Amino acid sequence: MDFFTLKRWMCLAVIVSAVLVGRWTSVPTTQAENNHGQDLGRERYSVTPARDPGVRAGKRFLATPILYTPGGASSIGDGRNLFAKVGCALCHTPTLKMADSSVAALSNKSLSLYSDLLLHKMGPELANDILPGEAKGDEFRTAPLWGLGQRIFFLHDGRTNDLLEAIQAHKSAGNSKFGPSEANGVIQNFNALDERQKQDVLNFLRSL
């Protein structure tokens, strides 16, 4: 082998070596060091693994967490009965049954929304003159009470943090612009309860 042939082979070897070294140094580190200074093998992914869709879907079916149970079971039970007796459940319907659904966990299941999901005239006290769709300025869809015990502010505009005040705001006489609230009779029944009974209703609502 003459000198020039040997020189070409040496140059080629240098180029190949440089390419291989470059590829080796570009590979991401696959070792992690633990607290004791030891190298631990760590599997790496070319892309971030997709999260389990079942975990995300399952969160939709978790019950609202109850932070505390005010008044005790007896008071809450009495309050639930009084809630229906005075007429609150006429609009805040305790349970609605869902229709057929492609999601088996939701199909034909009962849902405790405490709402009939319908529009009701609430009178000038709550009226805001906002006209969503075909609703009038004093009409509101019954707010679901599910999770009410964790809320800080009440009513559609969050005007109060006093639950008793929010109940009383449902009562409203009519004026030249809006008619009386549909809830006037219910609030009259609620106001006829003694203080202990009213507290039972409040305890029930805060347990939701």
Which tens digits make up the pLDDT trace of 20-38?
Answer: 555 545 545 444 444 454 5
Q: Name the residue with tokens 């006429």.
A: 90
State the alpha helices, DSSP H only, in 101-176.
Answer: 163-168
3-state SS, residue 141: strand
pLDDT number for residue 107: 84
* Angle at CA of residue 116, ends 115 and 119, nearest 5°: 105
Dihedral angle over CA of 58, 141, 196, 125, nearest 10 = 140
User: Tokens standing for 105?
Assistant: 């966990």
37/180 Cα distance (integer angstroms): 76
The helix (H) or strand (E) run that includes residue 186 is helix 184-191
pTM beyond cutoff 0.75 = no
Q: How far is CA 18 from the centre of its chain?
A: 57
User: Tokens standing for 30?
Assistant: 């696959």
pLDDT number for residue 29: 47
User: Using one digit for the tens of pLDDT, what is the confidence trace for 42-55?
Assistant: 444 445 545 555 55
113/91 Cα distance (integer angstroms): 11
User: Tokens standing for 44?
Assistant: 């790496």
130/52 Cα distance (integer angstroms): 42
State the alpha helices, DSSP H only, in 27-71.
Answer: 53-59
User: Using one digit for the tens of pLDDT, what is the confidence trace for 131-156?
Assistant: 777 788 889 999 999 999 999 999 98
Q: Are 108 and 98 in contact (CB under 8 A)?
A: yes
Task: Tell me which DSSP letter residue 31 carries.
Answer: E
pLDDT number for residue 104: 82
Residue 96: other Cβ atoms inside 10 A: 16
User: Using one digit for the tens of pLDDT, what is the confidence trace for 84-117?
Assistant: 999 999 999 999 988 888 888 778 888 899 999 9
